A and B are shown apart, each in its own frame.
Chain A
Protein backbone atom coordinates (compact mmCIF):
# COMPACT_ATOMS: atom_id res chain seq x y z
CA UNK A 1 0.00 0.00 0.00
CA UNK A 2 1.44 3.35 -1.02
CA UNK A 3 2.15 5.83 1.75
CA UNK A 4 1.12 9.43 2.10
CA UNK A 5 2.50 11.52 -0.73
CA UNK A 6 3.05 15.24 -0.76
CA UNK A 7 3.84 17.53 -3.64
CA UNK A 8 5.94 19.42 -4.25
CA UNK A 9 8.73 18.34 -1.91
CA UNK A 10 10.50 21.68 -2.06
CA UNK A 11 9.24 25.14 -2.90
CA UNK A 12 10.69 28.64 -2.90
CA UNK A 13 8.33 31.61 -2.91
CA UNK A 14 8.58 35.35 -2.43
CA UNK A 15 6.89 37.36 0.29
CA UNK A 16 3.37 38.33 -0.67
CA UNK A 17 2.83 35.40 -3.00
CA UNK A 18 0.49 32.53 -2.33
CA UNK A 19 1.18 28.81 -2.40
CA UNK A 20 -0.80 25.59 -2.67
CA UNK A 21 0.48 22.31 -1.29
CA UNK A 22 -1.00 18.94 -2.09
CA UNK A 23 -1.42 15.76 -0.10
CA UNK A 24 -2.62 12.33 -1.22
CA UNK A 25 -3.56 10.13 1.74
CA UNK A 26 -3.20 6.39 1.99
CA UNK A 27 -5.89 4.64 0.01
CA UNK A 28 -9.01 4.24 2.12
CA UNK A 29 -8.06 6.94 4.64
CA UNK A 30 -10.65 9.69 4.87
CA UNK A 31 -9.03 11.89 7.49
CA UNK A 32 -6.24 14.25 6.49
CA UNK A 33 -4.44 16.55 8.91
CA UNK A 34 -1.88 19.24 8.24
CA UNK A 35 0.98 20.33 10.49
CA UNK A 36 3.61 23.03 10.31
CA UNK A 37 7.11 22.37 11.64
CA UNK A 38 9.58 25.16 12.35
CA UNK A 39 12.74 25.19 14.45
CA UNK A 40 11.26 27.77 16.80
CA UNK A 41 7.71 26.47 17.28
CA UNK A 42 8.15 22.77 16.61
CA UNK A 43 5.29 20.75 15.18
CA UNK A 44 1.97 22.58 15.23
CA UNK A 45 -1.45 21.40 14.13
CA UNK A 46 -3.03 23.42 11.34
CA UNK A 47 -6.32 21.66 10.55
CA UNK A 48 -7.99 18.35 9.84
CA UNK A 49 -10.39 17.37 7.12
CA UNK A 50 -12.75 14.43 7.06
CA UNK A 51 -15.13 13.65 4.24
CA UNK A 52 -14.53 17.06 2.63
CA UNK A 53 -15.35 18.94 5.86
CA UNK A 54 -12.98 20.72 8.17
CA UNK A 55 -13.35 18.89 11.47
CA UNK A 56 -10.72 20.60 13.59
CA UNK A 57 -8.63 23.73 13.34
CA UNK A 58 -5.47 24.93 15.02
CA UNK A 59 -4.50 28.42 16.02
CA UNK A 60 -3.29 29.85 12.71
CA UNK A 61 -4.35 33.04 10.90
CA UNK A 62 -6.92 32.98 8.15
CA UNK A 63 -4.18 33.13 5.53
CA UNK A 64 -3.89 29.39 6.05
CA UNK A 65 -6.72 27.45 4.50
CA UNK A 66 -7.37 24.01 3.19
CA UNK A 67 -9.82 21.78 1.47
CA UNK A 68 -10.45 18.15 0.79
CA UNK A 69 -11.78 16.55 -2.33
CA UNK A 70 -14.18 13.65 -2.74
CA UNK A 71 -11.25 11.27 -3.29
CA UNK A 72 -9.83 12.39 0.11
CA UNK A 73 -6.90 14.23 -1.46
CA UNK A 74 -6.27 17.49 0.30
CA UNK A 75 -4.71 20.83 -0.47
CA UNK A 76 -3.61 23.62 1.79
CA UNK A 77 -3.16 27.18 0.70
CA UNK A 78 -1.20 29.98 2.25
CA UNK A 79 -1.90 33.47 0.96
CA UNK A 80 0.19 36.61 1.33
CA UNK A 81 3.27 34.67 2.34
CA UNK A 82 5.47 35.99 5.13
CA UNK A 83 9.06 35.10 5.93
CA UNK A 84 7.84 33.32 9.04
CA UNK A 85 5.84 30.89 6.92
CA UNK A 86 9.08 29.19 5.93
CA UNK A 87 8.64 25.70 7.34
CA UNK A 88 8.19 22.03 6.70
CA UNK A 89 4.51 21.33 6.05
CA UNK A 90 3.47 17.82 6.93
CA UNK A 91 0.35 15.99 5.99
CA UNK A 92 -0.98 12.96 7.86
CA UNK A 93 -3.81 10.56 7.12
CA UNK A 94 -5.67 8.06 9.23
CA UNK A 95 -8.46 5.57 8.85
CA UNK A 96 -11.72 5.56 10.78
CA UNK A 97 -11.01 2.14 12.21
CA UNK A 98 -7.54 3.03 13.45
CA UNK A 99 -7.85 6.76 13.99
CA UNK A 100 -5.24 6.57 16.72
CA UNK A 101 -2.48 6.02 14.17
CA UNK A 102 -1.65 8.88 11.87
CA UNK A 103 0.59 8.21 8.90
CA UNK A 104 2.74 11.16 7.93
CA UNK A 105 4.05 12.09 4.54
CA UNK A 106 7.61 13.32 3.93
CA UNK A 107 6.52 16.94 3.96
CA UNK A 108 6.90 19.96 1.72
CA UNK A 109 9.78 22.28 2.56
CA UNK A 110 8.62 25.85 1.89
CA UNK A 111 11.13 28.67 1.83
CA UNK A 112 9.86 32.24 1.67
CA UNK A 113 12.37 34.87 0.58
Chain B
Protein backbone atom coordinates (compact mmCIF):
# COMPACT_ATOMS: atom_id res chain seq x y z
CA UNK B 1 0.00 0.00 0.00
CA UNK B 2 1.20 3.51 -0.78
CA UNK B 3 2.29 5.67 2.15
CA UNK B 4 0.53 8.94 2.82
CA UNK B 5 1.53 12.15 4.53
CA UNK B 6 -1.10 14.49 5.90
CA UNK B 7 -0.74 17.46 8.24
CA UNK B 8 -1.77 16.38 11.73
CA UNK B 9 -4.16 19.27 12.24
CA UNK B 10 -5.76 22.22 10.49
CA UNK B 11 -8.17 24.98 11.44
CA UNK B 12 -10.84 26.53 9.26
CA UNK B 13 -13.35 29.28 9.86
CA UNK B 14 -16.97 28.33 9.37
CA UNK B 15 -18.21 29.25 5.92
CA UNK B 16 -14.75 29.23 4.41
CA UNK B 17 -13.30 26.55 2.18
CA UNK B 18 -11.26 23.86 3.88
CA UNK B 19 -8.41 22.53 1.76
CA UNK B 20 -6.90 19.34 3.10
CA UNK B 21 -3.70 18.17 1.41
CA UNK B 22 -2.35 14.66 1.12
CA UNK B 23 0.95 13.45 -0.24
CA UNK B 24 0.97 9.94 -1.73
CA UNK B 25 4.12 9.97 -3.83
CA UNK B 26 4.43 6.17 -3.92
CA UNK B 27 0.93 5.57 -5.24
CA UNK B 28 0.76 2.92 -7.93
CA UNK B 29 -1.05 3.22 -11.22
CA UNK B 30 -4.02 1.09 -10.19
CA UNK B 31 -4.59 2.76 -6.82
CA UNK B 32 -7.41 5.19 -6.36
CA UNK B 33 -7.30 7.95 -3.77
CA UNK B 34 -10.09 7.65 -1.23
CA UNK B 35 -11.08 10.14 1.42
CA UNK B 36 -12.95 9.21 4.57
CA UNK B 37 -13.64 11.20 7.69
CA UNK B 38 -14.39 10.24 11.25
CA UNK B 39 -16.45 12.49 13.41
CA UNK B 40 -15.85 12.04 17.11
CA UNK B 41 -17.45 8.88 18.52
CA UNK B 42 -18.72 7.73 15.13
CA UNK B 43 -17.51 5.27 12.53
CA UNK B 44 -15.64 6.59 9.49
CA UNK B 45 -17.70 8.01 6.64
CA UNK B 46 -16.89 7.81 2.94
CA UNK B 47 -16.48 11.20 1.27
CA UNK B 48 -15.13 10.83 -2.25
CA UNK B 49 -12.60 8.97 -4.37
CA UNK B 50 -10.77 9.42 -7.66
CA UNK B 51 -8.11 7.94 -9.90
CA UNK B 52 -6.64 10.79 -11.91
CA UNK B 53 -9.43 13.18 -12.80
CA UNK B 54 -10.83 15.75 -10.44
CA UNK B 55 -14.06 14.66 -8.82
CA UNK B 56 -16.93 16.46 -7.16
CA UNK B 57 -19.95 15.27 -5.23
CA UNK B 58 -22.42 16.79 -2.83
CA UNK B 59 -19.94 16.64 0.02
CA UNK B 60 -16.62 17.73 -1.44
CA UNK B 61 -14.27 18.13 -4.37
CA UNK B 62 -11.11 16.13 -4.95
CA UNK B 63 -8.21 17.59 -6.86
CA UNK B 64 -5.50 15.12 -7.92
CA UNK B 65 -2.24 16.41 -9.37
CA UNK B 66 -1.30 15.29 -12.84
CA UNK B 67 1.56 13.13 -11.56
CA UNK B 68 -0.85 11.66 -8.95
CA UNK B 69 1.65 12.17 -6.18
CA UNK B 70 -0.65 14.38 -4.16
CA UNK B 71 -4.25 15.37 -3.81
CA UNK B 72 -6.39 17.96 -2.05
CA UNK B 73 -9.81 17.49 -0.56
CA UNK B 74 -11.89 20.64 -0.66
CA UNK B 75 -14.89 21.29 1.55
CA UNK B 76 -16.28 24.39 -0.15
CA UNK B 77 -18.18 25.87 2.78
CA UNK B 78 -17.06 24.27 6.02
CA UNK B 79 -19.51 24.05 8.90
CA UNK B 80 -19.02 23.10 12.54
CA UNK B 81 -20.33 19.63 11.69
CA UNK B 82 -17.33 19.11 9.41
CA UNK B 83 -15.03 19.00 12.44
CA UNK B 84 -13.50 15.55 12.17
CA UNK B 85 -10.39 13.54 11.36
CA UNK B 86 -9.93 13.26 7.60
CA UNK B 87 -8.11 10.30 6.12
CA UNK B 88 -6.55 10.08 2.68
CA UNK B 89 -6.30 6.42 1.62
CA UNK B 90 -4.72 5.04 -1.56
CA UNK B 91 -6.49 1.83 -2.41
CA UNK B 92 -6.35 -0.70 -5.19
CA UNK B 93 -9.64 -0.70 -7.04
CA UNK B 94 -10.15 -4.39 -6.36
CA UNK B 95 -9.02 -4.37 -2.75
CA UNK B 96 -11.50 -4.60 0.05
CA UNK B 97 -9.48 -3.30 2.95
CA UNK B 98 -8.83 0.31 3.85
CA UNK B 99 -5.44 1.20 5.30
CA UNK B 100 -5.92 4.22 7.52
CA UNK B 101 -3.03 6.51 8.38
CA UNK B 102 -3.06 9.15 11.09
CA UNK B 103 -5.18 11.62 9.13
CA UNK B 104 -5.72 15.36 9.57
CA UNK B 105 -7.77 16.65 12.45
CA UNK B 106 -9.83 19.51 11.02
CA UNK B 107 -11.26 21.95 13.52
CA UNK B 108 -13.92 24.28 12.14
CA UNK B 109 -14.46 27.34 14.31
CA UNK B 110 -16.96 30.19 14.44
Contact = CB atoms under 8 A, between A and B. Distances in A.
Interface of A: 4, 31, 33, 35, 42-45, 48, 50, 55-56, 58, 90, 92, 94, 99-107
A66 B41 CA distance: 24
Q: Per DSSP, are chain B's interface residues mostly helix, strand or loop, or mixed? A: loop
A58 B42 CA distance: 22
Interface stretch (B12-20, B62-70, B92-100): B92-100
B46 A103 contact: yes
26 contacts: A33-B96, A33-B97, A33-B98, A35-B98, A42-B100, A42-B101, A43-B44, A43-B98, A45-B97, A48-B97, A55-B96, A56-B95, A56-B97, A58-B97, A90-B43, A90-B44, A92-B44, A99-B96, A100-B34, A100-B93, A101-B46, A102-B98, A104-B43, A104-B44, A105-B43, A107-B43
Contacts of B97: 33, 45, 48, 56, 58
B69 to A, nearest CB: 21
